[in-house]
């Protein structure tokens, strides 16, 4: 009798697990809405264009995923809701179900994987430093200076580690968005700004004050980007990973890359990432 009860309980657990495996896709099918969470300050990965529309490399990846959701669910129409999130509340938004997918320069960490799941990697980057040429132009020379960093990001922790490892006693100035930090360096209000190098390079390429600023070639952290997803939703994660793998395999990722990065070429490391993640069907 006990064995039979245990067997029935095991079957019930399997049925429940199967029923909840597609929670995201079931909700999208029922409501006809796919919710993309994105940050507005992370050029060129996720931001608002001059018309106020969500855009960027990661947002385009999520649009491709939305198209696949529509195809697999055989929906005549699928509405996309773009939900603005911040660095501070983005993972909670995924966990609480306020968004179906988080699209931005999101670094995958073990600590964050306790809250959300992650897709295949979408980009590889690292933290670096933007200096004003009128002040120190080496990280080791920033003692006693003010260094800006976007609050609530992995680069904030990377900056603290870099300061400790290099025995630099500097004042950390948290800011609310990258543009503010960039402007503070350009105006000489802080000596340097610490952020992911691809973001700094993109902002520098389009700023008329480029002659006053210097971007370090050194990386101070490893930032493996991925799309954040609801934890435990394996069917949805498979759809997301399959979509990314097809983009990488087909070469369509280069079109998406060029739309955000212009004439810049992917780094050899990024090309390797696309190749490694070009999983076969």
pLDDT, one tens digit per residue, over 70-119 is 999 999 999 999 999 988 899 999 999 999 999 999 999 999 999 999 99
Is residue 190 predicted with pLDDT exceeding 80? yes
24-73 pLDDT tens trace: 999 999 999 999 999 998 899 999 999 999 999 999 999 999 999 999 99
Dist. CA 221–CA 161, nearest whole Å: 9
Q: How far is CA 183 from CA 26, 42, 146, 207, in A?
A: 44, 15, 14, 10
- Per DSSP, the three-state class of 53 is coil
More confident residue, 10 or 272: 272
Lowest mean pLDDT among 89-103, 209-223, 248-262: 209-223
Q: In this predicted model, what pLDDT tens digit does every residue of 59-72 receive, in sequence order?
A: 999 999 999 999 99
**Residue-averaged pLDDT of the chain:** 91
Instruction: Report pLDDT for 223.
Output: 92
Q: Is the pLDDT of residue 1 over 90?
A: no
**H/E element, 224:** strand 223-229
Helix, coil or strand: residue 83: strand
pTM, whole model, 2 decimals? 0.82
Question: Residue 230's beta-bridge partner residues?
Answer: none
| pLDDT at residue 205 in the model | 86
Task: Give the domains, in start order, of the chain with CATH numbers.
Answer: 22-125+224-276 (3.40.190.10), 129-215 (3.40.190.10)
Q: Which two tokens stand for residue 124?
A: 């590889």
Q: What is the pLDDT of residue 21?
A: 52
Return the pLDDT at 101.
98
């Amino acid at each position: 009798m006990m064995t039979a009860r245990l067997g029935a309980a095991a079957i019930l657990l399997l049925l429940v697990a199967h029923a909840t495996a597609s929670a995201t896709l079931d909700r999208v099918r029922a409501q006809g809405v796919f919710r993309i969470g994105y940050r507005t300050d992370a050029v060129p990965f996720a931001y608002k264009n001059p018309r106020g529309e969500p855009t960027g490399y990661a947002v385009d990846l999520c649009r491709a995923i939305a198209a696949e959701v529509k195809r697999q669910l055989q929906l005549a129409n699928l509405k996309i809701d773009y939900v603005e999130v911040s660095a501070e509340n983005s993972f909670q938004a995924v966990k609480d179900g306020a968004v179906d997918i988080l699209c931005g320069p999101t670094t995958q960490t073990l600590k964050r994987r306790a809250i959300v799941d992650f897709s295949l990697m979408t980009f590889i980057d690292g933290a670096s430093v933007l200096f004003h040429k009128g002040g120190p132009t080496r990280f080791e020379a920033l003692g006693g200076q003010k260094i800006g960093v976007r609050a609530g990001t992995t680069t904030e922790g990377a900056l603290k580690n870099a300061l400790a490892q290099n025995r630099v006693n500097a004042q950390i100035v948290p800011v609310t968005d990258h543009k503010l930090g960039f402007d503070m360096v350009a105006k000489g209000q802080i000596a340097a700004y610490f952020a992911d190098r691809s973001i700094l390079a993109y902002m520098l390429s389009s700023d008329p004050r480029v002659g006053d600023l210097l971007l370090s070639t050194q990386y101070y952290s490893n930032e493996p980007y991925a799309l954040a997803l609801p934890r435990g939703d394996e069917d949805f994660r498979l759809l997301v990973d399959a979509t990314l793998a097809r983009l990488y395999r087909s070469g369509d990722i280069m079109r998406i890359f060029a739309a955000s990065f212009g004439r810049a070429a992917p780094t050899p490391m990024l090309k390797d990432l696309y190749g490694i993640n070009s999983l076969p069907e």
